[in-house]
A and B are shown apart, each in its own frame.
Chain A
Amino acid sequence: METFIDFFSFTDPNVRYVVLGSILITASSAIVGTFTFLKKKALVGDAVAHAVLPGVCLSFIVYGEKNPLVLIIGAFITGWLALTLIDIISSKSKIKEDTAIGLILSVFFGVGIFLLTIIQKSGNAAQSGLDQFLFGKAASLVGSDLVTFSLVSVILLIAVYVFFKEFTLIAFDKDFASTIGLPIKTMELILTTLTVLAVVVGIQAVGVVLMAAMLITPAAAARFWTEKIQVMIWLAAIFGAFSGLSGAYISYVAPSMPTGPWIVIVISTIAFFSFFFAPKRGIIIRYLTQKRIQRHIVDENILKALYHLGEEEKNFFDERTIETILSKRTLQKEVLLKSLRRLKREGYLKNSNGYWSFTIEGKNRGQRVVKLHRLWEVYLTQYLRIAPDHVHDDADTIEHVLTPELEARLEKLLNYPTTDPHESEIPYA
């Protein structure tokens, strides 16, 4: 708790640097990553992230110390080279893009690890901390590093703001963008450059191995909550910043712990939560909607069965046993009982001593389902010319779907027919 207060009171200037740096870095990669995500280029982000490692190592070998600007330049060169190679391979050879990405990612990362090992064995004292680029260490963000990284982050944010309209259009409809004279190649070059930059600054906090998560996961999580791209970008930035902050905190509390995995766990948790609980797009709400529809169908089918019984015996308000209902409609007994109780609660049925009967409302609703079923059968035979013996199953579904507006249109279109194709009477209210 004490460290928590220490950290979040921001009295220590180092803490301020680390927090500010982490937030800027993660938020800006999340924003750039939103376009990578919308363009469906998630794997490309992963490839770039891995491909910057040899650049970092080479700059170190050439320059001899850990100057952030020099490392960034090196990382930028190899990251960019990797993207260009992926493009060339997939457009000029028979190799498809996914294979090209796999090839480039592993070759570049392999070379990176190779160089890193050489540096570590070289005995150069300045190399300590270089391996932090693998999994990230937010706590090592200090003073001068921070200025460089923040500057790059700000450039990213400005660029996305300036080119927002163009990036969105290219992500949605590249052909159209090209026909209105938008310089597609240049725009994609800019976006690619921004992606590489985002990766280059991001690896300080997250590390090359997990950097792709920082690009893609915030956008993927944000997509669940909104249908507006502006909101999506803001949400992605906030999710990213939050995970960056928690990464910085853990890096401060437990210096031996790599920051990257921690950040990734936080952002993935947000993504999983969104996946399940988001309104509209979340999986739980979809499941509940499905369940509700299933219940609705069972209820209407039971009302329909009771109506059919009423038709046969010319008495709609007679009391029926569960067995009688089951003879009309095959259902699991528990499902039937649940539904009967629900219908009673809602006022469509009455129950006395295990005997069930319609209320007025129940009879009307059952009648409407039967009417829709028979009208739809007429429609199918008349307008789609489907044989009368093939229309029943389809009508069984559609009877639950038709809205009152469609019902009125159907009645008018068919001119209130009196019987369905099987000579059953169509009951109008």
Chain B
Amino acid sequence: MIIQADDPIVEIHDLTVSYDKKPVLWGVDLTLPKGQLIGIIGPNGAGKSTLIKAIMGLIPNSSGYIKLFDDELSNVRDRISYVPQRETVDWDFPASVMDIVLMGRYGKLGIFKRPRKVDREVALDSLRKVDLEGYKDRQISQLSGGQQQRVFLARALAQQADLYFMDEPFAGVDAATEKTIIKLLREMTERGNTVVVVHHDLQSVTQYFDWVLMLNMRLVASGPTAETFNTEMLQETYGGKLTLLSEVGNLLKQGAFPSREKNEQVKS
């Protein structure tokens, strides 16, 4: 069940993404509405992180295109923020909390320029929003998991974007932090920002999200949570892997076939 959004902020057309020639996401077609809190759910290996990485241009598409604000990614980068999974970086890096949050300003600053006073103010304000103001000079190696996650969120806030993609912001955080984060995300969407979140916990889906994407190597459902998030769709999403699809994927990898034939080859 795929419901299209009116006046979409994200538009994905026939997107296939492969790792090492093996497609992990097949033919995704969807649109996402503005100003909503959107959840991406699906079992392990469903391609949830892959989808947002592909949107952010971190992995090349095998086919299809993505439009953000009805434009190319490279033209609207300063309106988009990406929060990677917490474990993807080494937190034993010689930097303070403030240093990391200031990184959120680098996109606006451009190359060569040092952070200005106004950037520090924005960073400090972002830290305040995630309740970490008192931690600004703390070394990042001393933070707990929940605090690390909030530092990443503060960095995203410092970007002052309109559209946010967050990879598992609730992974490994305690209940109190989860509450702080969800409250913050709510405030953001109320201000008209759009927030897309990769999420694991099915229990909280209806409570958290306005719109939900259900993935399992292909798009199973996309639409308002109330209409989309039902038993039938859940069964289709979580009802086991499409083994045939995986095996075809493996064949593509072994034989090193391209997942889409190039146009000129078709013509000849």
A228: which B residues are within 8 A, CB to CB? 94-96
The stretch of B99-107, B184-192, B195-203, B225-233 in contact with A is B99-107
Select from chain B the residue with minimum beta-carbon distance to A187.
B111
Interface residues of B in 72-118 (CB under 8 A from A): 74, 77-78, 80-82, 84, 88-90, 93-96, 99-100, 103, 106-107, 109, 111-114
> Per-residue 0/1 for A228-248: is the Cβ within 8 Å of any B Cβ (1 yes, 0 no)?
110010000000000000000
Query: Is the Cβ of B103 less than 8 Å from the Cβ of A172?
Result: yes
* 5 pairs of A and B residues whose beta carbons are closest in the complex: A180-B107, A179-B82, A181-B77, A227-B139, A229-B94
Q: Does A428 contact B (CB under 8 A)?
A: no
Query: Is the Cβ of B57 less than 8 Å from the Cβ of A178?
Result: yes
Query: Is the Cβ of A176 less than 8 Å from the Cβ of B96?
Result: no
> Given A38-B93, A227-B96, A228-B94, A176 and B80 touching (CB < 8 A)?
no
Q: Does A169 contact B (CB under 8 A)?
A: yes
Q: Is the interface of B mostly helix, strand, loop or mixed?
A: mixed
Interface residues of A in 158-208 (CB under 8 A from B): 162-163, 165-166, 168-169, 171-173, 175-182
Query: Is the Cβ of B106 less than 8 Å from the Cβ of A182?
Result: yes
B99: which A residues are within 8 A, CB to CB? 168, 229
Query: Is the Cβ of A171 less than 8 Å from the Cβ of B93?
Result: yes
Interface residues of A in 132-182 (CB under 8 A from B): 162-163, 165-166, 168-169, 171-173, 175-182
> Per-residue 0/1 for B210-222: is the Cβ within 8 Å of any A Cβ (1 yes, 0 no)?
0000000000000
Select from chain A the residue with minimum beta-carbon distance to B167.
A175
Number of interface residues of B (CB under 8 A): 32
Contact residue among A168, A172, A175, A227 (Cβ-Cβ distance under 8 Å from B58):
A175
Q: Does B206 contact A (CB under 8 A)?
A: no
CA distance A171 to B112 in the complex (A): 17
B171–chain A nearest beta-carbon distance, Å: 16
CA distance A263 to B109 in the complex (A): 41
Query: Is the Cβ of A181 less than 8 Å from the Cβ of B74?
Result: yes
Q: Does B56 contact A (CB under 8 A)?
A: yes
Q: Does B180 contact A (CB under 8 A)?
A: no
> Given A227-B141, A229-B95, A172 and B89 touching (CB < 8 A)?
yes
Apart from A162-B112, A226-B94: 17 A-B pairs, beta carbons within 8 A: A165-B109, A165-B111, A165-B114, A168-B99, A172-B89, A172-B93, A172-B95, A172-B100, A175-B53, A175-B82, A179-B80, A180-B78, A181-B107, A227-B96, A229-B94, A229-B95, A232-B94
Query: Is the Cβ of A179 less than 8 Å from the Cβ of B112?
Result: no
A164–chain B nearest beta-carbon distance, Å: 9
CA distance A168 to B77 in the complex (A): 20
Binding site for A on B (CB under 8 A): 53, 56-58, 74, 77-78, 80-82, 84, 88-90, 93-96, 99-100, 103, 106-107, 109, 111-114, 139, 141, 155, 159
B155–chain A nearest beta-carbon distance, Å: 8
Query: Is the Cβ of A179 less than 8 Å from the Cβ of B96?
Result: no
B97–chain A nearest beta-carbon distance, Å: 11
A316–chain B nearest beta-carbon distance, Å: 39
A169: which B residues are within 8 A, CB to CB? 103, 106
Q: Does A223 contact B (CB under 8 A)?
A: yes
A175: which B residues are within 8 A, CB to CB? 53, 56, 58, 82, 84, 88
B85–chain A nearest beta-carbon distance, Å: 9
Select from chain B the residue with minimum beta-carbon distance to A164.
B114
A150–chain B nearest beta-carbon distance, Å: 24
CA distance A181 to B109 in the complex (A): 11
CA distance A144 to B221 in the complex (A): 71
A162: which B residues are within 8 A, CB to CB? 112
Contact residue among B53, B84, B88, B106 (Cβ-Cβ distance under 8 Å from A165):
B106
